[in-house]
Amino acid sequence: MTYAERLRTITAERGRLCVGIDPMPSVLDAWGLPHDVDGLERCARGIVEEIGGEVAVFKPQSAFFEAFGSRGVAVLERVLVDISEAGAMSILDVKRGDIGSSMAGYASAFLGDDAPTRADAITVSPYLGVGSLKPAVEAAVAGGQGLYVLARTSNPDGGSIQLADAGGVSVAQHVVDTVAALNPAAEHAVGLVVGGTHGDPGCDLSRFNASILVPGIGAQGGTVTGLAAIFGDALPNVLPTASRGVIGHGRDKVSALAEELLAELATI
């Protein structure tokens, strides 16, 4: 199955929610865990133990694992296997972006059957041009995996570059259109990252032809009911992502908070 088909199947079964695995210091505190690689492992794997069988997609944030060096990356590798064994899908948030052989190196790291840090999809950054991502697009399609290209991010600083004028459209729109043009040949495996915190994201997503990952639901200020207003016709492609709102109140709250959000998302 293609990435798009796998994602459609699992979200039809489990609901359209992605839970961010962000074992940041404040989350470790809320779980009563130490700020070390053992605390990292207990938190990250604990999230999957709690809700791995109910939630469709998980998005581990690589930065919090890399903060513990190679031992943290080893934990990340185990978490990705846990997610797969729980029947869920993983979008590894690495925001990589590089050129030629370096981009191919990142593709080997995360995409393809033999990748040591294998995820179902990764996030990538287009600052070096959407064209520079080609080695990752090819590896993703070959492996039945996906990519999510940053278009418009949820933070207030993002507009300085993402809303610049790229030949009559915003940079974000240029990314949307360039990615959309790749998808017919790429099995619709190339999605976008668009923050859920902007009233107007600065790009028209109504004709976009793949998955749209929307971080920022909850702690960053985005709301479930706000999604319909922001994304309009593109709403069926939206994969809403919550993190601290689900995992940030201790391990014993994770399952109930995820269920609550799934119920709310089922209404839109």
Determine if 26 is a binding residue for its own copies (CB under 8 A).
yes
Active site residue 134: no
Indicate which single residue of 1, 12, 63, 229 sits in contact with its own copies (rule: CB under 8 A): 63
Residue 123, φ and ψ in degrees, nearest 5: -90, 145
The H or E element spanning position 147 is strand 146-152
- 135, 100 contact by CB (below 8 A): yes
- 262, 17 contact by CB (below 8 A): yes
Indicate which single residue of 16, 42, 45, 174 sits in contact with its own copies (rule: CB under 8 A): 174
Give the burial string for 76-107 (b: 16+ CB within 10 Å, else e): bbebbebbbebebbbbbbbbbbbeeeebbebb
How far apart CA 192 and CA 210 sit, in angstroms, is 8
Q: How many residues in the chain? A: 268
Q: Which is catalytic among the residues 59, 95, 134, 253?
A: 95
Of 47-55, 123-131, 232-240, 249-257, the window that binds its own copies (rule: CB under 8 A) is 123-131
Closer by beta carbon to its own copies, 101 or else 267:
101
Determine if 221 is a binding residue for its own copies (CB under 8 A).
no
Indicate which single residue of 29, 54, 77, 264 sits in contact with its own copies (rule: CB under 8 A): 77
Indicate which single residue of 10, 51, 56, 130 sits in contact with its own copies (rule: CB under 8 A): 130
Q: How far is the CB of 133 from its own copies (least distance, A)?
A: 9
27, two tokens: 């989350």
Of 82-90, 99-107, 204-212, 222-230, the window that binds its own copies (rule: CB under 8 A) is 99-107
Instruction: List residues with catalytic annotation.
Output: 95
